[in-house]
Amino acid sequence: MSTLMKSRTTFPSLASNFFNTRQLFPNVWDLEKDLFDFDGGSFLMPDANIVENEKAFTIELAAPGLERNDFKVEVNNGILTISAEKEEERKEEDKNYRRKEFSYNSFSRSFTVPDNSLPDKIEAKYENGILRLYLPKKEVTVSKPAKEIKVS
**Which residues lie closer than 8 Å to 58 by C-beta, 6 or more apart?**
49, 50, 51, 52, 132, 133, 134, 135
Query: What are the tens digits of pLDDT across the range 36-79?
Result: 444 444 446 888 999 999 999 999 999 888 889 999 999 999 99
Tell me the C-alpha to C-alpha distance, in Å, between residue 33 and each of 8, 18, 91, 123. 11, 15, 28, 35
How many other C-beta atoms are found inside a 10 Å radius of the C-beta of residue 61?
Answer: 23
Domain ranges for the chain: 1-44, 46-138
CATH fold, domain 46-138, is: Immunoglobulin-like (2.60.40)
The pLDDT of residue 117: 92
| Separation between Cα atoms, residue 105 and residue 73, nearest integer Å | 17
Q: What is the pLDDT of residues 97-151, one digit of tens each?
A: 787 787 778 889 999 999 999 999 999 999 999 999 999 999 876 777 888 888 9
pLDDT value at residue 24: 53
Query: Which is nearest to 47 in space by CA: 104, 103, 9?
Result: 9
- Which pTM value belongs to this model? 0.59
